[in-house]
Structure 1
Amino acid sequence: MQFKALEYLEAIYKYKNFTKAAEALFVSQPAISAAIRKLEEEFNVKLIIRTPKKVIFTPEGEAFITKISPILKELREIEWDMLAKSQKQKKTLHLGLSPTAPPDIVHGIYQYFLPSLSENEEVSFDEGGAYYHIAKISNGEVDVAINVIPENISDFSVASIPLYQQEICLLIHENSKLAQYDKIPIQLLSTTPIVSLGASSYLPKRLEMEAAKRNIHLKVTSKHVHQTSYIEEILIGGSSGIINVDKNNIPRALYAHKSLVTRPFQEPMFLTIGILYRKDSQLQPLTKKILEFIQEAAKLSVQKQQIAEKPSKK
């Protein structure tokens, strides 16, 4: 009998819903279902009955939750006591950021989250592409990342929380011939030299998929591991790159490069931006704190965009 399974059962009892319990604990719904099923098999008794509308605890389930709730409370108090005794040890949150992570959220972390930390807490930032962060999270080197959620995310031991969409755009110099277009015909990519990011980024793979759907062969001239050299080649070499942008925010990667501009495609393409973290892991308090902060910051950012998009009354 695992402590985690008992916590899952308690959350289901509280919310009477597997999905809400999973969201509250930052775990996947299948993980909760599997843990409860294993618990029932271990005791050879049915604890829960799932109906289309709600979850019902059996008499055995009610009796069991009544007995374990005070035990769980006591175990948490012991855990908090041990954490309090270890406060002198520095707690480090390893946070991954995409170069095009939503500026509103990133600025919120700098302005509000970091100042809220205690003297024994700190954040270590790690910038990179989606696949880079997925590998780091899987290895335990990154706790949480704000990045693109690949379509094949289920292939990895990484959980995700979608936040919102960013549009895929062409990144070009303002003097490029392509800058005359308000929206770029994707067919032009077969004759336009393209600078690509390496395998650590999901964006090139997504562009290849979109091009293949339309029988377009991309003219990729070079690949870069780092964003700095990637942008430098576009600035100096006259090539074009691909970037995902939030229409109401200038990408952080472009702050220092005013001569670079973005153009959307005639056929819009979007990526899902969200939170990545290790699937079904026991989340530390600081990790839970940043997850909650990012989700709240994303909600405020969306509200801000909706207000900005409302037509003003004359």
Structure 2
Amino acid sequence: MVATLTETSLDARPSYGPAAPGGKGARRRSDVRMHVLLIIASVVTIFPFYAMIVISLQPGEAIKFPDALFPSDISFSSYEQAVGSQNIPRWIANSTIYSVVSVVLVLLFASMAGYAFAKKRFFGRELLFWVFVAMLMIPYHLTIIPQYIIVGQLGGLNTMWGMIVPTIANAQAMFLMRQFIQDVPDELIDAARIDGAGEFRVYWSIVLPQTKPILATLGTFVFLWHWNDFLWPLVAQQSPANYVLTVGINSLQQQEVPLATVMAAAVITFVPALLVFIVLQRYFVRGVMMSGLK
């Protein structure tokens, strides 16, 4: 009986036959096709940046395509014209102020709101939180007209503060900050209160240091959003002296400005965003990974 059961159990074991012919070859061909597709996608993605940089290095003469994409002469005169012009340095300063001040204020108010929604108890907290979250479902273009009217009535049109203030209330940043602050142990906050720390000290010394990854991630997103913002600065600013870089470069296309100079200004616009991403890449990747785990 035992022998019969043993033989039956041995016979019931799944048999692993030889691998299907061509299995490794098919996998290798699939990998090759995937690599080809990735290379094509990379070339398509990088080509506009390559064209922008190459055209910006052309000497001051008429540009002909496709010869301009493979230059024989390289000149930095377009960069000298861009930096030495009257408006572009002012536009760079305006974009820097608009982006940096907005990043600081958005992170400050979003972290405060996130701390309140995550750790404080007050009447209507959940309802108010979901009202803020519902703002994410409203397209930005629907709010720009009432935003323009309100800022105009307050006298903020064609001013820097009128361009910055409406962008401070960022529902997405508040939502992400609230999700991360919820994971801060309540024991740390209670210990700080027992030691006599006030609410602002608890927020500044206990809660805020725990959120460095998400602060770096949000800071990168907010900076890129404001540095590349076009629609609201175009609507809010009428004077060329108050333009940001994106609006100013668009205005250059309507003037008799060489294409190489326009592309040089575009390269100048692109470099700060790239540097910010490189500096904050470690925190940015960590914050995205933690968001995915949540």
Q: Shared fold by TM > 0.5?
A: no
Instruction: Give TM-score scaled by structure 2 length.
Output: 0.29
When normalised by structure 1's length, the TM-score is 0.28
- Taking CA–CA contacts closer than 8 Å with sequence separation of 6 or more, which of the two structures ends up with the larger relative contact order? 2
More strand by share: 1
Greater radius of gyration (CA): 2
